[in-house]
Amino acid sequence: MNDETYGKGLPRKIALALAVSATLTGALLSGGSALADETSCSPYTPLIKGQEDLVYVWTLGVKGVGDGSDKLVTVDVNPNSKTYGKIIHKLSLGGRGEVHHVGLSDDRRFLWGGALDSNKIYIFDIGTNPAKPKLTKTITDFVQKTGFVGPHSFIAMPGRMLITPLSNNKDHGGETGVVIYNNKGDYVANHPMPKEGGDGYGYDAAINPQKNVFLTSSFTGWNNYMMDLGKLIKDGEAMKRFGNTSVMWDMKTMKPLKVFQTPGAPLEVRWSWKPGDNWAVTTTALTSKIWVYKQDATGEWQVKDVATIGDPAKIPLPVDISITADGRGMWINTFMDGTTRYWDMSDPMKPKETFTKQIGSQVNMVSQSYDGKRVYFTTSLLGNWDKKGKDDEQFLKMYNWDGKDLKLAFEIDFYKEKLGRAHHMKFQARDLSTLKPLDLAQSPPAQPALVAQK
Amino acid sequence: MWRITRPLIRVGGAVLVWLACGIAPAAPIMDFVPPAAGTYKLERIQPATEGAVLDADGRGRRLSEFTYGRITLLAFMYSSCADPNGCPYALTVMHLVKGELEKLPVTRGRVRFVSLSFDPVRDTPQAIALYGRDLGGAGQHVAWDFLTTRSRRELLPILDGFGQDVGVDIDKATGKPVGTYSHVLKVFLIDRNRIVREIYTTDYLLPAMVLNDIKTLLLEDGVRLK
C-alpha cells in the first residue's frame, strides 16, 4: 500500500485557500459564479473549482475481505500526480456498522460520516493533512440523545450539521426527524418529521439559502433497510412501509412549510444552483419518477412528476443523482441494471434522457467535478441490498465526459484491494505549499499589553 | 434594500476604499421575508469561549467581559481584509443592523457588537482603534468594541473554541506568508448568558435576519420592543 504523504513529489496545485474563502460559500451569491463541485454538498460548504486532488470513499467492511472493517479510503485523483488513480490512504474503523453517507463541514476541514446500523457518527480531520484523514471524534450516543436511528445525510449549516436519520428507536420503522449538531459534535436539537399530511419518514435534505428553505425526502426504516433485499421484496407488508412524501421546511424556524405527495420513496434531493433557477429535483426509487419542485405564481411550492426513468415495471431502482454546475444536466443512476443516464434539464419540467451507459453490474453513487468533465461512480447501496455472487462488483470508476461519451480514466476494484463495499464520495483539494493552518510555528513575538491585565 | 449612507463613508480601512470606488460588498440574495422576531426559537448551539484579549486601549481583558451580560454580535476579522464578501461585508452588515438598533432605546445596556481580530501582528490596539473609530463609543445605545490579542498563543484557543478556521496564505515561490488569511466568514450571536444562539456565514449574514434574531433574544429576555 502506497502511503505517500501529500507533500512529497506532488506538483503544486491550485490552493484550497483560493477556494476556501468567504467569497465562495455557496452558489447563490449575487455574482452567481460559485457552484458545487459535486451536487450533494451543502451550499454553506466552501467550494472547489478546478481540479480536485483527492476523493474520499466511505467504504463498508465485509466479513472476510481484508480486515473486514468499515473504512475511509483516500484516492489520489489529480492526473498530474504520480499516484493518480491509486489509493494513498485508508483508515479502518475497527468494526462494521453499515456506513453509508458522509458530509463536509462548513469550512471543509472536517468530514462527518454515519453508520446506519451502529448509529455511530465519525468526524474526520481532512484539513490538517488531506491525504491522511484523522479520526478526531466518534459520536456513540446519537440514539440516546435523539431517539432516532440511522444517521444518513450530513448537510452543513453555519457552525452546525443538519443530520437526517432514517428511523427511530421505538419501533425501528420509518418515522424519524431532522437533527442538529454543532461543529464540535455536540447535540443541539431535533425536529420530528411532520405526520399531518405526511408519513413522518425521512432520508435526504438539501438547502436553498436564497429562499430560506430546505427540502427533505423519505425512504424506509431500519426494519427494512437492514433486511436482505430478496426477502424484503417478498414481504408484502414490509414493502408497504416505504416513504411516499417529501417536505419543504423553513430553515430559520425549523418548521415544516408543506408536505408533498411523492409516492415510491423519493431519495436524493438537489437544488439547481444556476443563477436565476429556483427548482429542486428528486427521483423515486420504487416508481422511477423524476419530480421537480417549483414555486407557483402565488409563491406556493408545488411538485410535479415530469418524467419516467427506464422501465418502472422492471424496478430499475433510481438511486443517486448529480446535477451539473450549470443546472442544465443531471446524471441518474439506476442500481439494478448498473446504468447511468444523463438527462437534459434545460427545461426541468420537460427533461430528456440523452445518454445511457452501463457502468457495471450494479451502480449507486455518482459525483462530478465542478466543470462536469470528470464523473465518478461507486457501487454499494446497502450491505444487505447489494447483489450477490459475481454480480456483487464493488469499485470506484472515474470517467472523462466530453458531452457525448464517458471514457474510462481509471478504476479500482475494492474487493481486489481488500477494502469492502464502495459507497459515498467527497472531493478534497489542498495545496499545503501555499496554505498552512494558523498555528504557532511562524508566530512572531507577542505584543506587550499597555496596561497590566485585569 | 439597505442603502449606503454617508456615515458609512467614514468607516476606515478597506470598506472606505470599496465604497469610494463604488465597489460595495456583494450581498447574498434574500428572496424571502424573514420570520418575525419572537415567532421562532434560536437553539443553544455552543458556549461562547473564554480567552485573553486586548482592547483598543491596549488593556488586557477577558473575552467574557464582552460576551456576558448582554446580547453580543461577535465577528472575527482582520483590518486589512480585502475580500468584499468577507470582513468588509460583515462590517457593513453590522453597521446597518446597529443603525436600526439605535432606533430602539431599550437596546441600551442590552446589546453590544464585538469585532475581534485574528491578526495580532498588524492589528495592534492602535490599529484596531483607528479601524473602529466612529463605529462605537459613548452616546450610542449599542456599544461596539474592537479587540485584538497579544499573540497567536492567546488567539488560537479562542478561534478553536468558536470553530473559526483561519489559514495563512503562503507565497508559492518563497514559502513565506503573503499577508492575507483564508477564512470562512463567521459571525456569532451570543445571548447574555454566553451561549451562542446563531452563527452566520456569508450566505446567511442577512441584515434583516440578524436584526430579527437580536430582537428575538430581546423578547426572550422579556424586553418590550415598543
A255–B185 C-beta distance less than 8 A:
no
For residues B16 and A332, which has the higher predicted lDDT (pLDDT)? Answer: A332
B153–A440 C-beta distance less than 8 A:
yes
Chain B hits for A445, CB-CB cut-off 8 Å, are 151
User: Which residues in chain B land under pLDDT 50?
Assistant: 1-23
Rounded Cα distance, A165 and B184, in Å:
28
- The shortest C-alpha distance from B152 to chain A (Å) reads 6
Q: Taking the CA of residue A123 as centre, how many other CA atoms within 13 Å lie in the half-sphere pointing to its CB?
A: 18
| Contact yes or no for B77/B183 (Cβ under 8 A) | no
Rounded Cα distance, A146 and A399, in Å:
40
Rounded Cα distance, A174 and A222, in Å:
7
Nearest by CB to A22, which of B61, B86, B172?
A: B86
A438–B46 C-beta distance less than 8 A:
no
Rounded Cα distance, A98 and A62, in Å:
10
Rounded Cα distance, A145 and A190, in Å:
9
Chain A hits for B18, CB-CB cut-off 8 Å, are none
pLDDT-based confidence at residue A16 (cuts at 50, 70, 90): very low
CB proximity list for A346: less than 8 A, separation 6 or greater: A328
pLDDT-based confidence at residue A318 (cuts at 50, 70, 90): very high
pLDDT of A33 strictly over 70? no
Q: B111-117 and B71-77 as β-strands: parallel, antiparallel, unpaired?
A: parallel
pLDDT of A123 strictly over 90? yes
Nearest by CB to B201, which of A158, A188, A454?
A: A158
A253–B40 C-beta distance less than 8 A:
yes
For residues A157 and B19, which has the higher predicted lDDT (pLDDT)? Answer: A157
Q: What are phi and psi of B58, to 5 degrees?
A: 85, 10
CA angle B61, B67, B68 (to 5 degrees): 100
Question: In angstroms, how far is CA A92 from the centroid of its own chain?
Answer: 20
pLDDT of A243 strictly over 60? yes
CA angle B191, B197, B198 (to 5 degrees): 125
CB proximity list for A203: less than 8 A, separation 6 or greater: A152, A153, A164, A166, A216, A217, A218, A219, A243, A265, A266, A267
pLDDT on residue A450? 45
Question: Average pLDDT of A353-380?
Answer: 97
A454–B60 C-beta distance less than 8 A:
yes
Kindly state whether A264 is in contact with chain B, defined as any CB-CB distance less than 8 angstroms: no
pLDDT-based confidence at residue A168 (cuts at 50, 70, 90): very high
Question: Average pLDDT of A193-202?
Answer: 96
Q: Which residue has the cell 505549499?
A: A433
pLDDT of A370 strictly over 90? no
pLDDT on residue A158? 96
Q: B71-77 and B60-62 as β-strands: parallel, antiparallel, unpaired?
A: unpaired
ipTM of the complex: 0.89
Kindly state the DSSP code that residue B202 receives in the 8-state scheme. G
Report domain extents, chain A. Answer: 117-123+145-427
Mean pLDDT rounded to a whole number for chain A? 88
| Contact yes or no for A203/A220 (Cβ under 8 A) | no
pLDDT on residue A453? 38
pLDDT on residue A136? 98
For the segment(s) A117-123+145-427, the CATH number from 3.40.50.20, 2.130.10.10, 3.50.50.60, 2.60.40.2480 is 2.130.10.10
CATH superfamily of B47-220: Glutaredoxin (3.40.30.10)
A17–B167 C-beta distance less than 8 A:
yes
pLDDT on residue B136? 65
For residues A334 and A26, which has the higher predicted lDDT (pLDDT)? Answer: A334
pLDDT on residue A438? 54
**What DSSP letter does each residue of A340-395 carry, written as one string?**
EEEEE-SSTTS-EEEEEEE-SS----EEE-TTS-EEEEE--S-TTTS--GGG---E
B83–A25 C-beta distance less than 8 A:
no
CB count within 10 Å of CB A407 equals 9
Q: Closest chain B residue to A438 measured between Cα atoms?
A: B167
pLDDT of A395 strictly over 50? yes
Q: Closest chain A residue to B157 measured between Cα atoms?
A: A439
Q: In what order do the strands lie in the sheet with A374-378?
A: A366-368, A374-378, A395-401, A406-413
